[in-house]
Each structure stands twice: as structure tokens, then as C-alpha cells.
Structure 1
């Protein structure tokens, strides 16, 4: 049996936590479930991450880092409509091939709303910072025009919601979200 290094074990905990938080959310996921999924004890988990919140924040950071990397790679050297299509297509692949990415995003937003109602702003600050990194990553390639970036991000959030609700690909609700409709919408936005 090959022993994992501390870094490999940490990575396995982050992957397990991503899957568990994506499924159950921040408040609905126990550290016991995460530890069990990875095959470690809770005390070991807390040696790697001092609290459930610290682990969730690490997962949030990783989720946003992954999306920023996807957007950067897709939009590299492109501008305008070409960038819209390339980044949009890359995002579509991410959420279809790695559904936990979409679910984790949705859980992040819910966790922020719940935590801030309870007076905890730390989660919100982390998620908002990640969101702004996404915004900034697409803003330049899309033409550095606020309306176009807003439209692109708004369509992305609509897509997140429709996918999370389980609308099939052939449902009429998707008709206005074709690449052509996305490009036309960004051109019409002031």
C-alpha cells in the first residue's frame, strides 16, 4: 500500500469537501461526512484545516481559481464575440463535465446569504472577491465594456440556475441562450 504525502492527503480532503459541500451546502455538511468520504479521522481533518469554515473557504478559493483558469485559457488572445463564444463554451463544458463545480457555486451563494444574516461576513467577502476575479478575467477579453461583461455574467448566472433546476437541453427555456443570442445581447447592452 502506497502512503499519501501530506499534500496529497490535503488535496484528497479538498476534493472530498468539494463533493460534500456541493451536495449538502455549508450548513448541511458535517466534517464527519467529509472525513469519512476521504477515509481520515475528524481530528486529522482538523489538523489540516482548523475549522469547517476554513475548509469551506479553501474549497471556495479552489472553485474560483478553477473557473478563473478556465476563463483565462479560453479567452487567451481573443476579444469581443470570439471571446464570448470561447469563454461561454468553456464554461458550458465545465458545468456539464464537472457538475460539482456548478453545485458548489450555488452552495457558495446560499452560504453567503445565510452567514451574513447571522452576522458573519467572512464567507461573503471571500465569495465576492472570487466573483470579482471572474468578472475581471472576462472583462478585458469581452472588450472592457461594463454592459457586455454584465450581460455575459448575467447569462452565466441564468444558466447556473436553469441547470441547477434540471431543465433538459431541449427545453424551450434555452432558446434565448444560444451563442448567437448571447452575442446579440451583449451588443445591445448599453
Structure 2
């Protein structure tokens, strides 16, 4: 009987596999709390292979962060211009909350923004979200600022697990509910 072997992955497929594993590992440990060895184990490859493909941990994180940020921007850019664009862009961002790893990496990227490459990605993401809101809605700079700030506050609340801890602190509860609304809080608690 002949043993069956699975087909070899191309270098692009292997690279994507490592990036997906790195997204999950960085989401939980952040930039400083994650090693390339942890990423390698999660991806089922050797640590020297990860370093050979990506260089340093900072370069790997920058690529993961760029990919996560791009997903956010693509979701916002997919909304067509018009009178309902602001609400649709908000919903597009809320839909991304389903991928907790994605949004945790986005949060970690803002924290790791002191690294020049990561800081550049963070600034670009914020600027693009601001521009896209104004372009899609025709809104003012103030309205765009509020949209971006609201999204960041939602991300902070989700990252700090505020929806899962409703009932622990009445002031945080009030902030969470007035920021996210009852339906979104319930959805975040369920996920």
C-alpha cells in the first residue's frame, strides 16, 4: 500500500499560513509579549524559517499589522458614497468585531507605534479612515474625527472586555452602552 502525502505548500501559501498564525499569536500576546518561536510553533514551522522569511519580529508584526489595518480600510472603502454611508461604515466596522484577533492586532499596533514602520502604518490607517468617511459621507472634519474616535473607543472597550463585564462598574457600563448600544454589547458578550 502506497502512503499518501499531502502536496507541498508553495512559499506564498506557507507565508500566508505563518501570517495567519502570527495574527492569532500577536492578538493574544501583543508585540512585546510574543516571540518568533511562538509564531513558528503555531504555524507548524521552525523558528529559523520564520526569521528567514520575515527577518525580525518587528518586520513580521509590521506585515501582520499592515494586513489587519488593510482589512479595516477595505471594509470602510467598500461602502458606497451616499446619505447612508456613515451608518453603513459604522456597521462595516462593527462587523469586523467578529474577528477579535484582527481588532486586537490593530490595538496592539497603536501601542507598538513607537517603532517607525508600525507608527507609519498606524498613522496611515487613521488618516485613511478619516478621509474615507469624509469622501463617502460628504461629512465635515469634525464628523470624521468623531467617527474615527468612536471606532477607536469601541475597539478599546472590546479589547478590555467591557461588554463581558457589564455589571462590574456602573460608570464603565454606562460608557459601554452609550458607545456601543444594547444590541452591540449583547453581540460582543456572546462572542
Determine if the TM-score, normalized by the shorter chain, exceeds 0.5. yes
Matches within 5 A, 1:102-181: 102-112=103-113, 116=114, 120-168=115-163, 171-177=173-179
Give the Cα–Cα distance (whole angstroms) in 2 for the partners of residues 51 and 129 of structure 1: 22
Aligned to 2:34: 29
Deviation at 1:40, TM superposition (A): 0.6
Deviation at 1:121, TM superposition (A): 2.9
TM-score normalised by L of structure 1? 0.81
Matches within 5 A, 1:61-140: 61-73=66-78, 75-76=79-80, 78-80=81-83, 82-95=84-97, 97-112=98-113, 116=114, 120-140=115-135
Give the Cα–Cα distance (whole angstroms) in 2 for the partners of residues 7 and 102 of structure 1: 24
Deviations 1:75-121 (A, max 9, x none): 21x334x11111111111111x1001111111111112xxx3xxx43
Aligned to 1:39: 44
Deviation at 1:177, TM superposition (A): 3.2
TM-score normalised by L of structure 2? 0.81
Deviation at 1:39, TM superposition (A): 0.6
Give the Cα–Cα distance (whole angstroms) in 2 for the partners of residues 107 and 44 of structure 1: 24
Structure 1 residues 24 and 85 mapped into 2: Cα distance closer, same or farther (>3 Å)?
same
Unaligned runs of 5+ in 2: 1-5, 167-172, 182-191
Give the Cα–Cα distance (whole angstroms) in 2 for the partners of residues 122 and 61 of structure 1: 10
Deviations 1:30-57 (A, max 9, x none): 0000000001111111221111111111
RMSD: 1.8
SS in 2 for 1:85: helix
More RCO (CA 8 Å, sep 6+)? 1
SS in 1 for 2:90: helix
Quick check: 2:130–2:148 contact (8 Å CA) kept in 1?
A: yes
Deviations 1:4-34 (A, max 9, x none): 1110100011111111111111111000000
Quick check: 1:26–1:56 contact (8 Å CA) kept in 2?
A: yes
